[in-house]
Amino acid sequence: MDIFTEAYFTAALWTEDPHPQSGEFQQHDDWTLASIDPAWMAEQIAQCEHFRNAYASLIDGRESDAGHDFWLTRNGHGAGFWDGDWPEPAATVLTDACKAYGETDLQMTFDYDR
C-alpha cells in the first residue's frame, strides 16, 4: 500500500469512535488495516489512487499529509487541507476536490459495539 493510502486508513481508524457516548476516543487494539471490510477498503483504495493521481503536482513530497487530510477533509473533521498547513492555492483546490468524493463511513469486519 502506498504512503498516501496508508495515511488515509490510519486517519480513518484514528477518527472513528466506536463509543461516541463516552466523549473520548477509544480505539481498540485490534483495529488494524486487517479489520477493515475488504469491499469498502477496495473502494477507498481506488478513490485514494484517483485523488492522488489527479492532484499529484499539488501533493508531491507530502503524500502522508495528503492522505491524512483527504480523509479529514472529505468527512468534515475539524482539520484538513484548508486549516493552514497547505499553501494557497493548493489548500483551496484540494479542499474543493474532496467535495466530489463525498463523506464515507469506516466499515469494519466486526460490530463496533462489542
Reported pTM:
0.84
- Cα maximum dimension of the chain: 44
The per-residue pLDDT for 13 is 84
What's the average model confidence in pLDDT over 103-109? 88
Q: Is 85 a residue whose pLDDT tops 50?
A: yes
Task: Bin 84: left if φ > 0, else alpha if -120 < ψ < 50, else beta.
Answer: left
Going from N- to C-terminal start, the domains of the chain cover 1-14+33-114
What's the average model confidence in pLDDT over 74-91? 93
What's the average model confidence in pLDDT over 3-32? 71
CA dihedral 59, 61, 64, 66 (to 10 degrees): -10
Residue type, 91: A
86/82 Cα distance (integer angstroms): 7
pLDDT-based confidence at 110, cuts 50/70/90? low
Residue 46: exposure state from Cβ atoms within 10 A (0-12, 13-18, ≥19): exposed
